[in-house]
Amino acid sequence: MTTTLPAAIVTATDADGAVVAIRPGGSKMPIFCVHAAAGHLRLFHNLAQHLDPRWTVYGIRGVLRGRGGRVPYSSFEEMARRYADELRAVEPDGPYVIVGECSGGQLAYELARQLRDNSQDVALLVLIDSYGPAGPRLRRFVPRWAYRQVDTTRMLLFHLRAVAQIGAGSRGTYVSARLKRAVAAIVASGAARRGHVSEELVRKRGFEAALRTYRPSPYDGRVALLRGSRLPWGVRHASDLGWGDFAADLEITEVSCYFGTSLLEPAVHQVADHLGRALEAPARERTAG
């Protein structure tokens, strides 16, 4: 069973179910968008608005397990098994399209791999601004703290430019949404220091622990990597972001934006166009077959 999920509602406990409908009712094969560390689906709601409405779009949000939904899953393999079962309950037959963004790309990879290992038809795995399992490889003598600081500053500048460029009518909504998330993060951090850990933080910590221990197997299906053309400072430039060692059939497309902003305005239009073309390719191949 799936539920239609308003954009503001982005988390769930085990009892609620992981699969939610972002935009149901399309006539084409379903797209399943997999959450990243934070567990929410906000960016995928943005992407769905720019995709052809004939594509049905689902989201797979972060969940906890156990009595009261307070225990994180311990590995990506475990998460993917849960998600694969729910995915098949919603759409028993493929082909499926699996999409992951940022750190969620590795979880999406594992989900697609398990589906194919169980003879399910995965037409396309889409990775958006997602590093491979080795993570970002820094240049020599670049400390990780400096890389993170520069990346955070560049993202802040991106949002400041966006505020300056968007229309006055949308500016308040844009700023308000991001301020609310920033305040919520500060409040959650303060509560955690006092011993009151939120479900979102439990979920995020569990995801990050699973990410550190994930060791993927090779994937023989079709993979589309969509990545920002401008990588963060201090990162060794590798067009495949480390995925070439795992995915034999890998197609790389650069989006004209800073890495990590591909699903934000204005780059999301490019991503939707590239994704639409990639989605049509399997359909044409099946028709020809």
Q: Is residue 82 part of a domain?
A: yes
Q: Is residue 144 part of a domain?
A: no
Mind listing the pLDDT tens digit for each residue in 171-212? Answer: 555 455 555 555 455 544 555 555 555 788 888 999 999 999
Predicted confidence band of residue 6 (pLDDT cuts 50, 70, 90): very low
Looking at residue 283, its pLDDT comes to 53
Q: Is residue 135 part of a domain?
A: yes
Looking at residue 3, its pLDDT comes to 40
| Domain count across the chain | 1
Q: In a 10 Å sphere around its CB, with 0-12 CB exposed, 13-18 middle and 19+ buried, how is residue 138 labelled?
A: middle
Q: Is residue 18 part of a domain?
A: yes
Looking at residue 12, its pLDDT comes to 41
- Looking up residue 22, the CATH number of its domain turns out to be 3.40.50.1820
Domain that holds residue 102: 3-139+198-288
Mean pLDDT over residues 60-74, rounded? 83
Task: Reply yes or no on whether the pLDDT at 104 is more than 80.
Answer: yes
CB 110 within 8 A of CB 122: no
Predicted confidence band of residue 4 (pLDDT cuts 50, 70, 90): very low
Q: Is residue 162 part of a domain?
A: no
Task: Reply yes or no on whether the pLDDT at 253 is more than 70.
Answer: yes
CB 125 within 8 A of CB 222: yes
Residue 73 three-state SS: coil
Q: Is residue 147 part of a domain?
A: no
Looking at residue 111, its pLDDT comes to 98
Q: Is residue 161 part of a domain?
A: no
CB 246 within 8 A of CB 132: yes
Q: Is residue 222 part of a domain?
A: yes
Predicted confidence band of residue 8 (pLDDT cuts 50, 70, 90): very low
d(CA 120, CA 129): 26
